[in-house]
């Protein structure tokens, strides 16, 4: 993909939402990054656009992570590989929705999550809320 071809046709990347649920207290932390208004747009926008987002309309992960999405990003449930007190991440953008247990997350997704956590402040939410 060329550098110009890596951005969406509309020129907008939109929001990137990373949700982390689980852990000892079962807390839900949400990082909501408006990529287009972020000073990091040039570095994170193309990265998000080039990730292997799911191709099916149900939003299922097809990257071999062993965890499948099962609906919207809110109300994350533990999937295969997400043992007791482990985190489960849901990553959602205009390109799709993926979900991974912390130990099954592929490197490129882990890198994105780390970058978002450095850029955006987390918000605590109760599971099942928007």
Tell me the domain boundaries of the chain. Answer: 14-121
Pairing status of strand 15-22 against strand 28-34: antiparallel
For residues 4 and 123, what is the distance between their CA atoms, to the nearest angstrom? 33
- Each residue's pLDDT tens digit in the chain (130 positions)? 334 444 454 568 999 999 999 877 778 999 999 999 999 999 999 999 999 999 754 444 543 334 444 333 333 344 444 455 689 999 999 999 999 999 999 999 999 999 999 999 999 887 666 6
Q: Which pLDDT belongs to residue 83?
A: 56
Q: Are 109 and 117 in contact (CB under 8 A)?
A: no
Q: Which pLDDT belongs to residue 25?
A: 74
């Amino acid at each position: 993909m060329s550098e110009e071809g890596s951005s969406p046709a509309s020129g907008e990347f939109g929001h990137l939402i990373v949700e982390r649920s689980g852990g000892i207290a079962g807390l839900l932390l949400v990082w909501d990054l408006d990529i287009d208004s972020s000073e990091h747009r040039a570095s994170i926008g193309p990265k998000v656009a080039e990730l292997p987002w799911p191709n099916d309309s149900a939003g299922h992960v097809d990257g071999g992570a062993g965890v499948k999405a099962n609906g919207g990003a809110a109300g994350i449930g533990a999937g295969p590989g997400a043992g007791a007190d482990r985190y489960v991440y849901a990553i959602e953008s205009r390109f799709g929705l993926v979900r991974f247990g912390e130990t099954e997350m592929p490197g490129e997704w882990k890198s994105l999550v780390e970058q978002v956590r450095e850029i955006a402040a987390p918000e605590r939410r109760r599971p099942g809320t928007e």
